[in-house]
Amino acid sequence: ELQAPPDKIAVIGAGIGGTSAAYYLRQKFGKDVKIDLFERGEVGGRLATITLQGQEYEAGGSVIHPLNLHMKRFVKDLGLSTIQSSGGLIGVSNGDTLVFEESSWFIINIIKLIWQYGFQPLRMHMWVEDVLDKFMRIYRYQSHDYAFSSVENLLHSLGGDDFLGMLNRTFLETLQKAGFSKKFLDEMIAPVNRLNYGQSMDINGFVGAVSLAGADSGLWAVEGGNKLVCSKLLQASKSNLISGSVMYIEEKTRTKQTGNPTKMYEVVYQTGSETRSGFYDIVLVATPLNRKMSNITFLNFDPPIEEFHQYYKQIVATFIKGKLNSTSFSSRALDEFGLSTILTTDNSHLFINSIGIVSSVKENNNPQPSTDGAFVWKTFSPETLTNEQLLKLFLSYEYAVKQQWHAYPYYKPPDKCPPIILHDRLYYLNGIECAASAMEMSAIAAHNAALLAYHRWNGHTDMIDQEDLYEKLKTEL
Ligand SMILES: Cc1cc2nc3c(=O)[nH]c(=O)nc-3n(C[C@H](O)[C@H](O)[C@H](O)COP(=O)(O)OP(=O)(O)OC[C@H]3O[C@@H](n4cnc5c(N)ncnc54)[C@H](O)[C@@H]3O)c2cc1C
Ligand SMILES: CC(C)=CCC/C(C)=C/CC/C(C)=C/CSC[C@H](N)C(=O)O
């Protein structure tokens, strides 16, 4: 049995989380509900491009895994096109020398890997595949409309105590326990974490697995920029975009047209120099609740959340068009260098996490140098690069433009995730980032929140936090 649908729903934040939430809310609640989507900056949020000399480059979320089924589905349903993101050759620097260097010959790479690390790369590949296999169960649950009231319940449903337990152990502990050697972890795994999350092996085991998945083959991106998914989802959801910054949310009793007094949320926001507000039956918060990132407060109720305590790590992405100083990484001159991505080890005294040649969002991955042999490179670093540092990395450069991010949570297991249900009909999506931050994670959180809001509105408690879902659904055709 269904209740009358809500009149109005607010979604705060038009990143991939908020726009996909609007899309799924429309699917569940139907055409009559009015959905307002609040955004104080650009639609896309941490999916953003930067335009340099007329070319656009991904400056935030850039690659998508081939098994990220929500992102895949969006691109297909919204009529977008994809480009493959396979890069060129990768090397790993410890600050003095290259501890690993890829060859363009497949067979040489295999021999090198076995010579340096035995069968550990293969075992690691199998470990990540095992985590991904379990992770994929979420798509089956969501296609059957099941929802979870907490991130912990969601992860537990995927693989039980062991799977959820990954949040409580560091990646280092997890992999050491699985028998991987220090050399392999230092030279192969830690550098991938530094590239993807700007953090050491002390991140939790689950985000560690996601980070390694982010180094798999078959990664792709959206032609024209990943942020196009957000603007297309917004359009498809037929939501009303409100350009404004939400300041606070207050619970108030209102008398609806039916004459019944009803508890509603007043969303108060600033647009230009004006303060305005609207009343909503349901509110979804799709931005990290963190003073630096959203600064939203709550009046008349206390959400069970340590508001503003989720610390996000700063990452600076710098785009440099220039000629690399290859001798910063190896003894070889540039014309014999051949690497297009360099990762760094944890103990490296280098001031960057990674550096790599990038293609524009329109190029099908064959970045071309300009006539003088300069490429566009992207570095990730914890701090803004100084001119002196840039001149250490480059023989010469035409421009260096930075984009600063509060990028991802600072992972420090054991971590308890923030709740999804902040109040009666108020939901929070970005708690899922405490497990792992990635586009697909936000899309999963969005689908879950839309289903949860729908089932709670209609009193369908049997669709929430069902135990043994995997076994139950296995028997269904
Ligand atoms: C440099 C970088 C590289 C990354 N690379 C990848 C990658 O390759 N692959 C991948 O899968 N993920 C990647 N990620 C992670 C991915 O980008 C994020 O996990 C994802 O985009 C988060 O989306 P979101 O919608 O949850 O949050 P956001 O994108 O942060 O959206 C929140 C939105 O809310 C708005 N907002 C905040 N406060 C208010 C307010 N008070 N009122 C109104 N609006 C408000 C913000 O302006 C923002 O637009 C990367 C992230 C960064 C920073
Ligand atoms: C959620 C699952 C199962 C998989 C996602 C895998 C993935 C794409 C991870 C990437 C995560 C991330 C935050 C990357 C940041 S840097 C990305 C990129 N290499 C760049 O150079 O910009």
Instruction: Read off the pLDDT of residues 68-124 as tens digits, 9 standing for 90 and up.
Output: 999 999 999 999 999 998 778 999 999 889 999 999 899 999 999 999 999 999 999
d(CA 262, CA 281): 9
- Residue 232, ligand 2, Cβ within 6 A: no
- pLDDT confidence of 290, banded at 50, 70, 90? confident
Ligand 2 center to 211 CA (angstroms):
6
Q: Where are the beta strands (DSSP E) in 286-440?
A: 297-299, 312-324, 339-344, 354-357, 375-381, 394-409, 421-423, 426-428
Q: What is the pLDDT of residue 239?
A: 98
Place of tokens 């993807």: 196
Q: What is the pLDDT of residue 365?
A: 61
Q: What is the pLDDT of residue 330?
A: 87
Q: What is the pLDDT of residue 334?
A: 80
Closest residue by Cα to atom 17, ligand 1, is 61
Ligand 1 center to 46 CA (angstroms):
3
Tell me the per-residue pLDDT of 187-232, one tens digit each, with 9 for 90 and over: 999 999 999 999 999 999 999 999 999 999 999 999 999 999 999 9
Ligand at minimal distance from the CA of 196 is: 2
- Residue 294, ligand 2, Cβ within 6 A: no
- pLDDT confidence of 38, banded at 50, 70, 90? very high
Tell me the CA distances in angstroms from 107 to 111, 121, 166, 309, one per residue in order. Answer: 6, 15, 34, 49
Average pLDDT value over all residues in the chain: 94
- Residue 446, ligand 2, Cβ within 6 A: no
> What percent of the chain lies above the pLDDT cut of 70?
98
Tell me the per-residue pLDDT of 338-378, one tens digit each, with 9 for 90 and over: 899 999 999 767 899 999 999 999 976 677 777 777 999 99
- Residue 62, ligand 2, Cβ within 6 A: yes
- Name the nearest CA neighbour of 234 among 54, 23, 401: 23
Q: What are phi and psi of 374, to 5 degrees?
A: -85, 140
- Residue 65, ligand 2, Cβ within 6 A: yes
Residue 308 confidence (pLDDT) above 60: no
Residue 332 confidence (pLDDT) above 90: no
- Residue 49, ligand 1, Cβ within 6 A: no
When comparing pLDDT for 88 and 127, which is higher?
127
- Residue 287, ligand 1, Cβ within 6 A: yes
Largest CA distance in the chain: 79
Residue 302 confidence (pLDDT) above 90: no
Q: What is the pLDDT of residue 90?
A: 95
d(CA 439, CA 187): 27
- pLDDT confidence of 307, banded at 50, 70, 90? low
Residue 306 confidence (pLDDT) above 70: no
Closest residue by Cα to atom 36, ligand 1, is 13
Residue type, 176: Q
- Residue 154, ligand 1, Cβ within 6 A: no
**Four-residue CA torsion sign, 248, 251, 253, 258:** positive
**Total Cβ atoms within 10 A of residue 446:** 29
Closest residue by Cα to atom 6, ligand 2, is 214
- pLDDT confidence of 331, banded at 50, 70, 90? confident
Place of tokens 């040649």: 357
- Residue 58, ligand 1, Cβ within 6 A: no
Ligand 1 center to 316 CA (angstroms):
14
Q: What is the ipTM of this complex?
A: 0.99
Query: CA torsion, points 361, 367, 370, 372, in degrees to nearest 10?
Result: 150
Q: What is the pLDDT of residue 476?
A: 72
The residues facing 421 across adjacent strands are 427
Q: Is 268 left (phi over 0), alpha (psi -120 to 50) or beta?
A: beta
Q: What is the pLDDT of residue 348?
A: 66
Ligand 1 center to 198 CA (angstroms):
16
Q: What is the pLDDT of residue 256?
A: 82
Tell me the per-residue pLDDT of 253-281, one tens digit each, with 9 for 90 and over: 999 877 889 999 999 999 999 999 999 99
Long-range contacts of range 260-269, CB-CB < 8 Å, 24 or more positions apart?
Answer: 263/424, 265/10, 265/425, 265/426, 267/10, 267/12, 267/36, 267/38, 269/38, 269/242, 269/244, 269/245
Residue 477 confidence (pLDDT) above 80: no
Q: Would the pTM of this model clear 0.90, i.e. be above it? A: yes
- Residue 63, ligand 1, Cβ within 6 A: yes
- Name the nearest CA neighbour of 443 among 76, 21, 27: 21
- pLDDT confidence of 335, banded at 50, 70, 90? confident
Ligand 1 center to 407 CA (angstroms):
8
